[in-house]
Amino acid sequence: MNRYVILLLALSLLVLSIPISIQAKEPSKEVTITGTVTDHTGETLPGVVVKIKNLPYGTITDADGFYLLRGKFAKGAKIVFSCVGMKTVEFDYFGQDQQDAAMQENVEMLGELVVKAESNINNIDIRARSGVVETVDMKRLNEKPMANIGLALQGAVPGLIVTNAGDLGSKPKIRIRGNQSLRGGDAANEPLYVLDGKVISAEAFMTLAPQDIREIKILKDAAACALYGIKAANGVIEISSKRGTKSGGVDITYSMNMGATFKGRRGVSVMNSSEKLEFERLMGNPSAPGYRYSEDYYRRYEKNNPNLNALIAAGAQKLDSLRGINTDWFDELMRMAFYQNHNLSMRGGNERTSYFLSGNISTQGGQIKGNSTLRANLRLGIDQQIGNIGYFSFNMDGGYTDTKSPNGSEFSPASLIYNLNPYESKSNNKLWSYPNRRFSDLMEQYQSNSNDKRGGASGSINLRPFEGFEISGVAGLDYMISESQQFTPASSYSEQQSGFPAAELGKLAKAKNTVLNYTHNIRALYNRIFDERHNLTFSVNHDYYLTNTDNIGFTGYGVGDHPSAALINQSITGSRRPSVSSLKEKVIQLGVGAVAGYTFDNTYDLFATYKLDGSSILPSEKRWNSAWATGLGWTPTSYAFLKNNGVLSRLNIKGSYGKTASLAGVSAAQTIATFSYLENAYDVMRMLQLLALYNTDLKPEHTTSIDAGVQIGLFKHFNVDLQWYRHQTADALLDVPVAASNGFGMMKRNIGVLRNEGIELSGSYSLMGEEIPDFRLRVGASVAYNRNKVVDLYYADKIYTSDNALIPDFQVGKAYDMLYGLRWGGINAVTGLPVFIGKDNREIEPGKTKLTRDDFIEIGHMTPPYTGTVNLSIGYKEFELDADFYWVAGGYRQYSYQYVRDRDNVNKNAIAGLVTDMWLQVGDTGKKYASPFYSSAAIETLNYANTHNTGKSDYLRMSMLSLRYRFPERILAKTHNKIKYASVAIQASNLFTITPYNESDPETGQMGAAIQPVVTLNLSVTF
Amino acid sequence: MPIRYITILAAASILASACSLDVDYENQFSDPDAISTPTAARELLATAYSGIPNLEYDLSVFSDDFTPTYWANTNPTAGNAYRWQPQSIQDVSLTAWPQYYTVIVGANAVLERLPGIATDTDEDRALIKEIEAEAKTLKAYCYFQLLRLYGPDYNDNPDADAIVIKDKVEMQTLPRSSVRESINEIRRLLEDAMSVGNRSMTSTHWLSVNAARYLAAEAELYCGNYDEAAKHAGDIINAIGMDALSSDEYADLWSDSDCAERIFTYGDINIAEGFYISIVYDKDAGDFFSVNPTLAKSYEDGDCRKEWSVYPVTTSTLGYQPYMGKYNAMRKKQKTISMISKQRLAGAVFIQAQAYALANKDTDAIAIVNEYLDLRGASGIDTNLRGTPLLQAILTEKQKEFVGEGERFFDLKHYRRSALSNWTVSQAPDRRIDADDYRWNWPIPREEYLYNENMTQNEGWPKNSFDE
């Protein structure tokens, strides 16, 4: 393990184990107590009156159920929580700084039995007793000013790995406990998203606003996920929306963030004009001015010119003037932009009906001009009691996101930062770096816009016709329209060079894709407690998921410089003729399952579940697959002799075992001959195509999961949670290359067995009790480790997934994300080419020595195996400081080296220091970069990763910082209680990233696409 | 009591949703009902046709049709290809091999499904026959192309490993068949195809009986059955008539107008996108290659081939350049390229002429060539020519007809030890490719040998630079 990892681990452990134990003090006069008030289901309760009995100190909980109470009182005073429809709760003040309260509904007052509805009917208690269900801290999530909810989840829960994928608006990679499949990509590894009981797409999840979410649960193991069946093979992210309150009043909350986004990390530093011109002179390539205007050039090519001296003088003058220009293209092209977020919500209700209404909008500008996102949401949630036997909930929501980007597949303005020369400027009519182009030919070459419009509704009903029996159902629709437009204007360089007549220039592609998700779920649950010790639950469920996709798109040419479909030249024939595409498909998944659970004396938990799922995608004989799981839990602290002991406040041990069959990402075309029409035509005939080389022997992947965990609570305030898991997937599916004479390059096959395992450790410490007056501290940290390995391959001991891979992608006994490479041995002083050290320390000379597999060594994991967080909360009087850090370690990444220029490419800018660090002539020793006088593509050896051109992709990021001031009751009182609650805050996300990776962004691997720092001012008021 | 009501509701809901999981797709059709009509079978065959690789430009670069301009000398891609740099050949080989096999497997998919199509009428039965004949001709076409690129020439060693004969749509790791076996397979396929006379598809984008005859003639010429070759070529000439070779018809070849001379043309409607664009360095600055100047100068005035074979341009930087005409000229003139000529009557004439010359029927050879030249508006070849000089004269005229269309590469490979052994004399020193050079037989791409343990590699090429 490297030093960096050790450092980070040590830091985390240090935080985990802060043994702060400050001696008790005398009762103080001025006291501050904070806490969160919830109802018995864990839902936060706003508008709860918190008072000190018989003293004039009191406050009201805010929209998140949080309160802060200040006053002068001594130990023994009573803290009273009261709320309409709830039983009043009292606590003794014994010097504590924090007092949370869970309030029970006042059944006596209502005079009836009350059933509390859960909008997600799968959220049953028994599941969490033996499965691994973790909850995202929504307060912290809301403190991060980020438009993308997916990215904001980075570091929220150990084992939930979120990786930024590129410029603003792109969908991040989200994984729970790593990849379960050899197949990379979202289709086979993405978790299942469930909003209020209905399945939504990952894209729909990205349109959600954190402010509207009450709770996000991450379901990690087989026992927790089994209710969802095989769809949940990669874990589940369950989202529950905010609900109304029963306070009898109305809370209106407005909060806003306004601020700026910053340029972020710079990456490599490039040459200034003097160094660049000198470097060009040394390269001797006349396509760059440093040589073209140098004395060397004139003496060589114009030696017989009678005006030689005049030419040299003019050249020197030209170079001097170029030296005078020093454009910092990072500064020029990257920009600061605005971030804003506004949220208005209304929450209220009475004992029978409650509601939540919210609207919000946020915008964020990207680093590059033309890159921005906007997100807007509306949400309504209503809960209505039905007589005395049940509850009905209704949700409606709509969302809109819009993303603009100037970065296309062929050309990205971000790359200009490293390509344009410092002696060039925006006003140049002739660029050396891009011959025949002006600066304006590089910008506004391409524009892509995309937006998602989403609307959904769901209703759930919970009925308890008699004691112990509950029947519930949820049905929901989610409809999303995604529109995208890509436009390449006729004036763009690529169009001008295309060779097509003027009437055919300008490309416009537009697509409208619609996805309708329909879910319904029905569950019957019977729960009975015998002898007050035996708690038995039995449940059956049925679910139905329908996804209807209907896409339509067109591409047309001849629009000129106007992105309008009306301008498409319909008279074009041949390859630029207008074309239309469409896709319509319906996928149905159907499942039935049963769950049984038993708890003895709150000490032992037993859990078993079985689910059978069928999918319309597959041919009928492969359609039905099952998932089952069992779990065990043990809570020794429930024993009488351990109850209320001062040391061990909680001990819970649990484990689960489960099996899932998965055909995620597999379609009929892979198992049976399937044909589809192409958009193209041959002569007058439409074209029908065989989609894939089908494999009639294809089987589902079978994953066996073993999970174990222990939760320890010490001294009431020190909590440690340790989880271990091992997921083994047999019959792992992979698109493997087949001999080209089969007419297809790839075929999906069951190729082997892989294992994915890891450990997650998290802990927290809260400084509470009678320690320092007005001072609150909570620190938390987590470390997650994930590793994977190919256990067996059925057909060979190694698999190459592409024909030009000399190094196998998968090999028995090796991790499936291993970066292999050569050992660097320096640069040959004579040839200027790198020398590598192979097997048995033999020297490998590029182009001369033939490589063997044994010459390659494991450089490291491409996916960092270690991730972790450090969370810190400090409170003093009305001030609150929250900070989150996120780190990853143990990963390696190959540098792109695109800025290390050889002679042929010297007309583009280069990394600073090449003049001294590059091998330039025979005899140069100790250089970092190889000779520029050959084309690296010609020598295969140089294209591999090696120990010199790779770097650790570890990083430490300050992902969130929030400093909040809550206006105290005495100030709010001056508004005659018009304002119930108010606070201001400075909030920032991703303020800095520290990394030893000294090239591009360690996370995305892209130049100029690092995550943006955002700094905002937040204001939140509740009326 | 609500319980009963709820129970009924729940049961009804389960029943309602437990409906069939058999969902039809809008645009996905799975066996066994996917290909149930002759039209669907032809649509499947259309996809196979569209996969035919168009190597006209690449093969011309490897032949002596072109001379590099200044730009090719400064550009590694164009310059390396011209100098037969192994990597450049590997690059073309890498795409050509899988492309031809995609077509072959596409044709196999059609052939496998034809027996399953219910045929109620004679018309349907005839259509099925016709599609079968075309699918076989298409396979033969691809096999013959592959054979000439990847196998050694028949004259070098007919029993050497050549190509994979692939008859099924399923994953296989097949060994290579010999040159002789490959030719036999091609002959079998074409005999079947030529027996189906009636064809409903009149466009030249579909492989007709004449197309099958053309291939048979080429294949027989290739393996030395000169009488058979001359006979098949003669059948084509009789069917079309020599009048189709007139100057008027010739000009129509390079347009989207009808042209009686065409036998088989590639007709994917997307061809214009990239075809022959690689020859252009810069729209204004010029091309990487121009027509071999000796060849360019050899066209007489009045020869209708001249106007469309050479596209002369004079620029300030490069001076006079006889740029390649045909598709390149069509592109420069902004004319739509709507088809690519693969077989035409002139080709049949040259097959017959070569066959006659090689079978020592010199006068017959001269007669047919001179009739052709007369129709093209060119003077005839010397009627006193005999033997190799006659064959050389025929091949020179053939080059003038097919310049830039890749035909010359196959002639160089076939005649490199005989009639065309002198071809390198006019070449630059770094391009004098020896007749024994390993590069004449293209490398089996890694995509094949890495995943097929029964595959052999052509001599001289790396099997795998990694595993020794």
Of B108, B282, B338, Cβ closest to residue A574: B338
B29 within domain boundaries = no
Could you read off the pLDDT of A407-425 as tens digits, one per residue? 765 667 778 888 899 998 8
pLDDT for B183 beyond 90: yes
Measured between beta carbons, the chain B residues lying within 8 angstroms of A934 are none
Question: Is residue A224 classed as helix, strand or coil in its secondary structure?
Answer: helix
CA distance A812 to chain B (A): 17
User: From the centroid of its chain, how far is CA A625?
Assistant: 29
More confident residue, B118 or A38: B118
Contact between A909 and A420 (Cβ < 8 Å): yes
Question: Is residue A510 classed as helix, strand or coil in its secondary structure?
Answer: strand
Average pLDDT over residues B415-427: 90
Instruction: Give per-residue burial for B25-51: e unless 16+ CB within 10 Å, then b.
Output: beebbbbeebbeebbbbbbbbbbbbbb
Question: Is residue A285 classed as helix, strand or coil in its secondary structure?
Answer: coil
Report the CATH number that the domain containing residue B236 is assigned in CATH: 1.25.40.390
Are residues A682 and B49, on separate chains, in Cβ contact within 8 Å?
yes
Question: Is residue A525 classed as helix, strand or coil in its secondary structure?
Answer: strand
Could you read off the pLDDT of A718-766 as tens digits, one per residue? 889 999 999 999 998 888 889 999 999 899 999 899 999 999 999 988 7
Average pLDDT over residues A291-319: 89
Average pLDDT over residues A173-186: 82
pLDDT at A19: 37
Are residues B273 and A575, on separate chains, in Cβ contact within 8 Å?
yes
Quote the CA–CA distance of A59 and A254 in Å, as a whole number: 19
pLDDT for A901 beyond 70: yes
pLDDT at A196: 85
Amino acid present at B152? P
Are residues B105 and A742, on separate chains, in Cβ contact within 8 Å?
yes
> What are the structural domains of chain A?
25-110 (2.60.40.1120), 820-849+896-948 (no CATH)
pLDDT at A15: 43
What are the phi and psi torsion angles at B257 (to 5°)?
A: -80, 165
pLDDT for A1003 beyond 90: no
Quote the CA–CA distance of B58 and B410 in Å, as a whole number: 12
- Mutation for B interface: A388, A741, A802, most B CBs within 10 A: A741
Are residues B205 and A852, on separate chains, in Cβ contact within 8 Å?
no
The number of distinct structural domains making up chain B is 1
pLDDT-based confidence at A445, cuts 50/70/90?
A: confident
Q: What is the DSSP string of B448-459?
A: HHTT-TT----T
More confident residue, B226 or B198: B226
pLDDT-based confidence at A85, cuts 50/70/90?
A: low
Structure-token pair, residue A759: 């450990």
pLDDT-based confidence at A8, cuts 50/70/90?
A: very low
- Residue partners of B4: CB distance under 8 A and separation at least 6: none
- Residue partners of B98: CB distance under 8 A and separation at least 6: A740, A743, A745, B445, B447, B448
Quote the CA–CA distance of B142 and A136 in Å, as a whole number: 60
Structure-token pair, residue A105: 């509904």
Measured between beta carbons, the chain B residues lying within 8 angstroms of A676 are 25, 27-29
Mean pLDDT is lowest, of A96-100, A581-585, B361-365, for A96-100
CA distance B268 to chain A (A): 4
pLDDT for B371 beyond 80: yes
Are residues A542 and B17, on separate chains, in Cβ contact within 8 Å?
yes
Quote the CA–CA distance of B180 and B160 in Å, as a whole number: 8
- ipTM for the whole complex: 0.90
Quote the CA–CA distance of B58 and B82 in Å, as a whole number: 9
pLDDT-based confidence at B244, cuts 50/70/90?
A: very high
Quote the CA–CA distance of A906 and A290 in Å, as a whole number: 10
Are residues A739 and B447, on separate chains, in Cβ contact within 8 Å?
yes
pLDDT at A42: 64
Contact between A492 and A445 (Cβ < 8 Å): yes
pLDDT for A113 beyond 50: no
A598: number of Cβ within 10 Å: 16
β partners of residue A327: none
Could you read off the pLDDT of A541-598 as tens digits, one per residue? 898 989 888 999 999 999 998 889 999 998 887 778 898 888 888 888 888 999 888 8
pLDDT-based confidence at B234, cuts 50/70/90?
A: very high
H helices of B223-316, where?
A: 226-240, 247-253, 293-298, 304-309
Cis peptide before A996 (omega within 30 of 0): no
Are residues B267 and A584, on separate chains, in Cβ contact within 8 Å?
no
Residue with tokens 């037989």: B441
Could you read off the pLDDT of A329-373 as tens digits, one per residue? 888 888 889 999 999 999 888 878 889 999 999 998 888 888 888
Average pLDDT over residues A940-965: 86
What 8-state DSSP symbol labels residue A296?
A: H
User: From the centroid of its chain, how far is CA B208?
Assistant: 15
CA distance B227 to chain A (A): 33
Are residues A682 and B10, on separate chains, in Cβ contact within 8 Å?
no
pLDDT, chain B, mean = 90
Beta strand A955-966 pairing with A390-405: unpaired
Contact between A614 and A683 (Cβ < 8 Å): no
Structure-token pair, residue B200: 């409903």
Quote the CA–CA distance of A140 and B380 in Å, as a whole number: 90
pLDDT-based confidence at B464, cuts 50/70/90?
A: low
In percent, the amount of chain A with pLDDT more than 70 equals 91
Beta strand A30-39 pairing with A101-103: parallel
Average pLDDT over residues B394-412: 96
pLDDT at A2: 52
Measured between beta carbons, the chain B residues lying within 8 angstroms of A691 are 28
Residue of chain B whose alpha carbon sits nearest to that of A808:
B466
Are residues A675 and B2, on separate chains, in Cβ contact within 8 Å?
no
Range of the domain at B256: 38-273+340-428
- Mutation for B interface: A683, A735, A794, most B CBs within 10 A: A683
- Mutation for A interface: B7, B29, B104, B199, most A CBs within 10 A: B29
Quote the CA–CA distance of A449 and A401 in Å, as a whole number: 11
Contact between A505 and A495 (Cβ < 8 Å): yes
Element (H, E) at A338: strand A337-349
Are residues A806 and B466, on separate chains, in Cβ contact within 8 Å?
yes
More confident residue, A20 or A593: A593
pLDDT-based confidence at B13, cuts 50/70/90?
A: low
- Residue partners of A612: CB distance under 8 A and separation at least 6: A229, A591, A592, A593, A624, A625, A626
Torsion sign across C-alpha atoms A295, A298, A299, A300: positive
Element (H, E) at A68: strand A66-72
Structure-token pair, residue B119: 């045929």
Measured between beta carbons, the chain B residues lying within 8 angstroms of A741 are 97, 101, 164, 166, 172, 174, 448, 452
Structure-token pair, residue A161: 């790995």
Are residues B269 and A544, on separate chains, in Cβ contact within 8 Å?
no
Amino acid present at B148? R
Instruction: Give per-residue burial for B118-156: e unless 16+ CB within 10 Å, then b.
Output: ebeeeeeebbbbbbbbbbbbbbbbbbbbbbbbbbbbbbb
pLDDT-based confidence at A254, cuts 50/70/90?
A: very high
Distances (CA, A) of A370 to A144, A407, A413, A414, A443: 24, 9, 10, 11, 10
Amino acid present at B365? A
pLDDT at B9: 55
- Mutation for B interface: A688, A734, A939, most B CBs within 10 A: A688
Question: Is residue A951 classed as helix, strand or coil in its secondary structure?
Answer: strand
pLDDT at A27: 47
Residue of chain B whose alpha carbon sits nearest to that of A545:
B17
pLDDT at A409: 57
Mean pLDDT is lowest, of A639-643, A770-774, B4-8, B329-333, for B4-8
Quote the CA–CA distance of B288 and A118 in Å, as a whole number: 71
Are residues B466 and A685, on separate chains, in Cβ contact within 8 Å?
no
pLDDT at B109: 96
Quote the CA–CA distance of A449 and A446 in Å, as a whole number: 10
pLDDT at B403: 96
pLDDT at A124: 62
Instruction: Give per-residue burial for A578-594: e unless 16+ CB within 10 Å, then b.
Output: bbeeebebebbbbbbbe
Quote the CA–CA distance of A142 and A343 in Å, as a whole number: 11
pLDDT at B436: 92
- A-B Cβ pairs (cutoff 8 Å, strict): 230
Q: Is A788 exposed, middle or buried (0-12, 13-18, 19+ CB in 10 A)?
A: buried
Quote the CA–CA distance of A885 and A879 in Å, as a whole number: 20
Mean pLDDT is lowest, of A735-739, A918-922, B13-17, B145-149, for B13-17
pLDDT at A112: 33
B119 within domain boundaries = yes
pLDDT for A111 beyond 70: no
Residue of chain A whose alpha carbon sits nearest to that of B48:
A689
Residue with tokens 């059955």: B225
pLDDT for B47 beyond 50: yes
pLDDT-based confidence at A232, cuts 50/70/90?
A: confident
Average pLDDT over residues B145-174: 95
Q: Is A190 exposed, middle or buried (0-12, 13-18, 19+ CB in 10 A)?
A: buried
B457 within domain boundaries = no
Could you read off the pLDDT of A28-66 as tens digits, one per residue? 467 778 888 877 666 677 777 788 877 777 777 776 778
B303 within domain boundaries = no
In percent, the amount of chain A with pLDDT more than 90 equals 20
B456 within domain boundaries = no
pLDDT at A82: 78
Both ends of chain A: CA-CA distance in Å? 54
Contact between A480 and A551 (Cβ < 8 Å): no
Quote the CA–CA distance of B50 and B69 in Å, as a whole number: 33
**How are strands ordered across the β-sheet holding A818-827?**
A843-844, A834-837, A818-827, A856-861
Of B2, B272, B468, Cβ closest to residue A574: B272
B214 within domain boundaries = yes
Q: Is A626 exposed, middle or buried (0-12, 13-18, 19+ CB in 10 A)?
A: middle
pLDDT, chain A, mean = 83
Of B6, B18, B467, Cβ closest to residue A590: B18
Distances (CA, A) of A388 to A39, A42, A69, A381, B8: 19, 22, 36, 21, 21
Beta strand A236-241 pairing with A192-195: parallel
Quote the CA–CA distance of A731 and A699 in Å, as a whole number: 7
pLDDT at B32: 81
Q: Which of A811-815, A1007-1011, B1-5, B109-113 shows the highest mean pLDDT?
A: B109-113
CA distance B398 to chain A (A): 29
Average pLDDT over residues A944-958: 89
Element (H, E) at B367: helix B362-376
Average pLDDT over residues B434-456: 90
Could you read off the pLDDT of A192-206 as tens digits, one per residue? 998 888 888 888 888
Of B3, B28, B267, Cβ closest to residue A669: B28
Structure-token pair, residue A266: 């710079």
